[in-house]
A and B are shown apart, each in its own frame.
Chain A
Amino acid sequence: MSAHSTLRRYLGNRKGSLGLAILVVLVFMAVLAPVISPYKATQIDPTAILQPPSPKHLLGTNEVGEDILSLIIWGSRISLLVGFLATFVAVLVGTAVGVVAGYIGGFTDEALMRITDFFLVIPAVVLAIVVAALLGNTLLNVILIIGLLSWPSTARVVRSATLVYKQMPFVEASKCAGAGTAYILRRHILPNVLPLVYANTSLTIANSIFTQAALVFLGVGDINDISWGQILHFAYASGAITAGDYWYAIPPGLMIVVAVLGFALTGYALDEVLNPKLKAGVVFESA
């Protein structure tokens, strides 16, 4: 299947096109934040505190007089950054564990899979809260914690695919020709397994954005970095919710929903396009 025909099939998938469109808009928003946001993120207008939407502040202002629309636009940066970096960590660990467990098999496989099951069972958000609280609330810690808790689903997908490919004739032929384990993994197993990882990656990003928002909302993580979860944290903490300040509470949550849907739809579509045989091999994790 050539790259071109894969792309055509992907864009023919309605869910996939919608998801991709959402992602493109989000990435542009994050990259172009300095250009498109009407105010600087932390620019305070003391004369306009908790103002409802107006021509001057399209989404109103918060309790210190910051422009909500600007906060939302700047917040996309941290939310996406954590989503991407945490997923990078998760995919790296998950692929390594999956390939090694699947290819080597035996006791190694058994041990690695027990560890994977363990992390699947333990509620990741709760563990993340506890670890972040113990280690300290830096952005890097939050990224690492989310990443190191999100790899099990990738590991399982990669392992089952590795089990299939390691029995293929071309792998055996390569072995007969004297290829070492590292060479076979790099040249034969990984290239075949990676398409599966892509679909899974998209869902992992969605989950990471979700988890980061949940952690920051609870006050775990650096609450000085602007992100959608952080805006909601202050909306809740300042009492704007019970005061009914809808312009403050609705937009950041809506952005999280849109971003999660964008990545989830992309993931499903990739799964359908790249792995037509594997229907619905997706397990949800939600916070």
Chain B
Amino acid sequence: MGRYIAKRALTSIITFFAVLVLTFILFRLLPGNPVLLLFRNPQLTQQQIAQLSAQFGLNRPLYEQFILFIVNVFRGNLGLSFYYRAPVTQVLFPALLNSIILILPSTILAILIGVGLGVISGWKRNTLTDMAVLSSSLVLYAIPTFWLGILLIMLAVRIGGIPVSGMLSIGVSFTSPTQYLGNLLRHLLLPMITLTLVTLGQFSIIMRTSVINELTEDYVVAAYAKGMSESRLIRKHVVPNALLPTVSIIAISIGTVVAGAVLTETVFSWPGVGTLIYDSIARRDYPVLQGAFLIVALSVIISNFIADLVYAYLDPRVKYS
């Protein structure tokens, strides 16, 4: 197991390095070089320009600039935000926290519901239940995230009382932690439903296929012939085995969850990294955009690594090797 994890960790590190190269190319070498735009910012003083110029080493050869860029990233120095006039990390960190508050529960819910529906659908394949689950999963897969958000907003406005934008009510001073939490949860409701729904469709389809493939295996027929009850067979044998391919596909789709989160956040003005990316494009705040891109890529890589660990734990062939 150790060797497997080490290999995966190495792959993750190489991928992150590739992300750094890509970021450097995107933000330094493409036309409209954003680092040079930095100096067109009228709010900067002459002294700040000189300081930034030295910091980014813009007068040095390209490879030195690249090394300096890497060193700066690892020091957590991502430059200054044009808009906030503060270090990018100071802007990014709270946004990242807000994004996690949205993404973590949504992803867990989507996995639980999606996998559960997939098991039922695969077990009762070719029945009415299966058809219902499969077609609603397909429709959920085809629904644009932002449009589902729009539909929910319209519904919520009609019902009334459900907040459709932001993370906390503006201008309200909270007297107790429970009041604060209640307000936060009410704001979380719609974005969480949106992200969960658009994510779970793909999980249930994958789990269904996986369960059906597993049900054709000889050991299933053997266990059934020995008189094992169907529900026990599903619980003890089919689901654990069917989970393996599902886990690896969930890992691949983490990137799409993040993309879904960016759109969900924008529609509901949830103050996370997604909304920050959206706002930074409008503000031409390239240092923040660069930082946000790096943080998104890094979190996808880390999530993939965690998924690999879960896979290793679930698969005895990896676990005991």
Min CB gap A154→B, angstroms: 15
Interface centre among A114, A117, A214, A246 (most CB of B within 10 A): A214
Which residue of B142, B153, B255 contacts A123 across the interface (Cβ within 8 Å)?
Answer: B255
Which residue of A122, A236, A261 contacts B267 across the interface (Cβ within 8 Å)?
Answer: A236
Min CB gap B309→A, angstroms: 16
- A279 B209 Cβ-Cβ under 8 A: yes
CB nearest neighbor in B for A135: B30
Q: How far is the CA of A261 from the CA of B141 in the complex (A)?
A: 9
- Which residues on B sit within 8 Å (CB–CB) of A121? 15, 252, 255, 300-301, 304
Known contacts A123-B259, A284-B256; A135 and B31 CB within 8 A of each other: yes
- Which residues on B sit within 8 Å (CB–CB) of A249? 147, 150-151, 154
> CB of A241 within 8 A of chain B?
yes
Number of interface residues of A (CB under 8 A): 50
Known contacts A286-B141, A287-B144; A218 and B255 CB within 8 A of each other: no
Q: How far is the CA of A242 from the CA of B277 in the complex (A)?
A: 23
- A286 B260 Cβ-Cβ under 8 A: yes
- Which residues on B sit within 8 Å (CB–CB) of A217? 144, 146, 263
Q: Name B's interface SS.
A: helix
Q: How many A-B residue pairs have CB under 8 A?
A: 152
CB nearest neighbor in B for A236: B150
Number of interface residues of B (CB under 8 A): 58
Which residue of A261, A283, A287 contacts B259 across the interface (Cβ within 8 Å)?
Answer: A287
Per-residue CB proximity of B138-160 to A under 8 Å, as 1/0? 11011111110011011001100
Min CB gap B167→A, angstroms: 17
- Which residues on B sit within 8 Å (CB–CB) of A124? 255, 259
- B301 A242 Cβ-Cβ under 8 A: no
- B138 A118 Cβ-Cβ under 8 A: no
- Which residues on A sit within 8 Å (CB–CB) of B260? 286-287
> CB of B289 within 8 A of chain A?
yes
Binding site for A on B (CB under 8 A): 14-15, 18-19, 22, 26-27, 30-32, 34, 138-139, 141-147, 150-151, 153-154, 157-158, 164, 198, 201-202, 205-206, 209, 213, 249, 252-253, 255-256, 258-260, 262-263, 266-267, 277-278, 281-282, 286, 289, 293, 296-297, 300-301, 304
Q: Rank and list the top 8 A-B pairs by shortest CB-CB distance, nearest first.
A: A253-B147, A125-B259, A123-B255, A260-B142, A280-B209, A284-B202, A133-B281, A123-B259
Given contact pairs A121-B15, A235-B150, A286-B141, a sample of 20 additional A-B residue pairs in the complex whose CB atoms are under 8 Å apart: A118-B18, A120-B255, A122-B297, A123-B262, A135-B32, A219-B278, A219-B282, A232-B147, A249-B147, A250-B151, A253-B147, A253-B150, A261-B139, A264-B141, A264-B142, A279-B213, A283-B249, A286-B198, A286-B201, A286-B259
